[in-house]
Chain A
């Protein structure tokens, strides 16, 4: 699942650690989400989208088969 977390984070001038603190997760988890190695739970995805003032589907893009 692709996502725009990295781009959105950089537009806010945040480091992965900063975003992790806001979300209550580790820097490694933010990195894993950005690189697509980890798909966040629905609550975390919603929290992320709300933080960036976007809808979840504007941040996360499910790859169509």
Chain B
């Protein structure tokens, strides 16, 4: 069991992924005629990538930027993921219920809830069997 910060995760992976994602949004929105919104989305992603690269001395920023970190930092990441997933689950179930109440068919909320719930249950089963 490693307790150490093994340096994996890559300094550039998340920032480059952010910029590539921004370019994809820029093209997707721009090709539909709204180049201003596309540029705005690209700008947001570029600024985010720049923050990740420029403020890596901050522990929070480094973790956001994909640093694997040591055992405590991995625990922080797991707890943050747990919190984020819980918020997302409440939001999706809420959206599903509101859509049904408005006479909708609950889509695409139902699919999102289903994928999230199935992923959670599946991971729990596999991890519990692995010990």
Q: Do A and B come from one complex?
A: yes
Chain B interface, DSSP helix/strand/loop, else mixed: loop
| Number of interface residues, chain A, beta carbon within 8 A | 13
| Number of interface residues, chain B, beta carbon within 8 A | 11
> Could you say which of B1, B3, B69, B73 contacts A23, with CB atoms under 8 Å apart?
B3
B50 to chain A, nearest CB (A): 23
> A: which residues have CB within 8 A of B?
23-26, 28-29, 32, 38, 40-41, 43-44, 47
A25 and B3 form a contact (CB under 8 A): yes
A41 and B71 form a contact (CB under 8 A): yes
A22 to chain B, nearest CB (A): 11
A26 and B69 form a contact (CB under 8 A): yes
B1 and A41 form a contact (CB under 8 A): yes
